Amino acid sequence: MIIVDTLIHARWIIPVEPESVTLEQHSLVIDGGRIIDLLPSELARQKYQGTTTENLDDHALLPGLINSHTHAAMTLMRGIADDLHLMDWLQNHIWPLEQKWMSEAFVKDGSDLAIAEMILGGTTCFNDMYFFPEITAAQAIHHGIRASVGLIVIDFPTVWAENSDAYIEKGLALHEQLRHHPLISTPFAPHAPYTVSNPPLQKIKTFADELELPIHMHVHETLHEVEQEQQKTGQRPLQRLHELGLIDPSFIAVHMTQLSDDEIALFAESGAHIVHCPESNLKLASGFCPVAKCLAAGINVALGTDGAASNNDLDMFGEMRTAALLGKAVAGDASAVPAMTALRMATINGAKALGLEHETGSLSIGKAADVIAVDLSPLETQPLYCPVSQIVYAAGRQQVTDVWVAGKRLLNQRHLTTVNIDELKLKIAEWRERLAG
């Protein structure tokens, strides 16, 4: 009998790789923070003994969800400026609030709120873009969640940095500090084509190539953005980025609601990635990413929530469902973006976009044990014919009962193990009074 850290016996295991496989009455074996075996439960009971053993007779185990685009600290602004167009929302509400209140304390408490919400909803990795990234990274490490913490760059001054050179310098220092941390990666995160000019983008590209870092950027989010760039330069933003050499397999373009067939073909050829944020795009009326066309062209499409200030939640279960349904409507094809595709967008596709597919995104032997358990016994997910279908089309994030990241249990029967909820609620109430005042 082999002694291991954790042995989980489950009704179903959905490993994501290989695709379209659902294993019944199987067990996941975790030791040293990694998956060391996946086998029928009968054999697992004969071969292994867990220091901790879980019998999840009504649950599906699946890879932890990957939220591939967030602004975690903005969760403090959830609902503060709803039902507005993007530029009105940004320029007249969000940016003034940030100018007044942005601080290390704001980012710390906002990140804590976002991380707690994400863990409760089965997210084990998030890709962030915001100010004071060192604070977001510190809170992710404290809570034990995996994070891709963007090294933000923007042309105009903020409380975090006075110009693009300072952003890049501080980002490089943070990368050096964190580059060996097992839970943290640090892509460059220039905000958008309309807020970052060519010289800093060229510097970012040079450093990204040298350090082998991804570049994460809002691109073609709205028609207004595209038209504004055309009026200013005679080019669409994607064309400009392509001419600067940014569009390659390390590039992650967020939103991409405005795409021509030629741009889809160019993007597919480049090997770059898209992060689709359907609910934020719908709420801000930004447009529709042609997901089915992009997938058919061979583009890796991942899934993100965007910030809770424009969503208004960090619910990847809701995002999967919306992505599947919207993808069908936009394509005019009920078979477009099926349930398994939506689940892959929220797991392995996100890992591939972030350059983390060797570490997470599927329940594969040798990968980190980033695992969630979803209880499918409630009436809302009965009768059950296909677990994947139920997870995408019927289940809610409240059905996530347990979460492990690198083998560490962050959610135990709906109880957060690293968050003091009462203390967090008091801090959030204080921020609500300040921001609403």
For residues 199 and 339, state if they share a domain: yes
Q: How many CB atoms lie within 10 A of CB 200?
A: 19
Written as six digits, the tokens of 63 are 């890879």
* Contact between 79 and 33 (Cβ < 8 Å): no
Mean pLDDT across the stretch 220-224? 95
The size of the chain, in residues, is 437
Please, which residues have CB within 8 angstroms of residue 262's CB and are 6 or more apart in sequence? none
Q: Look at residue 87 in the predicted model and tell me its pLDDT.
A: 83
Written as six digits, the tokens of 217 are 């950027």
Report whether pLDDT(437) > 80: no
For residues 107 and 249, state if they share a domain: yes
Burial of 366 (0-12, 13-18, 19+ CB in 10 A): exposed
Beta bridge partners of 38: 28
For residues 72 and 53, state if they share a domain: no
Confidence of residue 82 (pLDDT cuts 50, 70, 90): very high
Helices H / strands E in the chain, number of each: 17, 18
Q: Residues of the chain with pLDDT > 90: what percent? A: 96
Strands 48-63 and 371-375: antiparallel
The total of structural domains in the chain comes to 2
For residues 98 and 241, state if they share a domain: yes
Written as six digits, the tokens of 393 are 């089309």
For residue 203, being part of any structural domain is answered with: yes
For residue 178, being part of any structural domain is answered with: yes
**Dist. CA 235–CA 373, nearest whole Å:** 47
For residues 42 and 174, state if they share a domain: no
Strands, E assignment, 89-237:
123-128, 146-149, 151-153, 184-185, 188-190, 215-219
Q: List pLDDT tens digits, range 40-62.
A: 999 999 999 999 999 999 999 99
Q: Look at residue 143 in the predicted model and tell me its pLDDT.
A: 98
The backbone torsions φ and ψ at residue 283, rounded to the nearest 5 degrees and listed phi first, read -65, -35
**Dist. CA 260–CA 236, nearest whole Å:** 11
Confidence of residue 90 (pLDDT cuts 50, 70, 90): confident
Range of the domain at 105: 65-353
The H-or-E segment that residue 65 falls in is: strand 65-70
For residues 348 and 369, state if they share a domain: no
The backbone torsions φ and ψ at residue 61, rounded to the nearest 5 degrees and listed phi first, read -95, 135
CATH number of the domain encompassing residue 348:
3.20.20.140
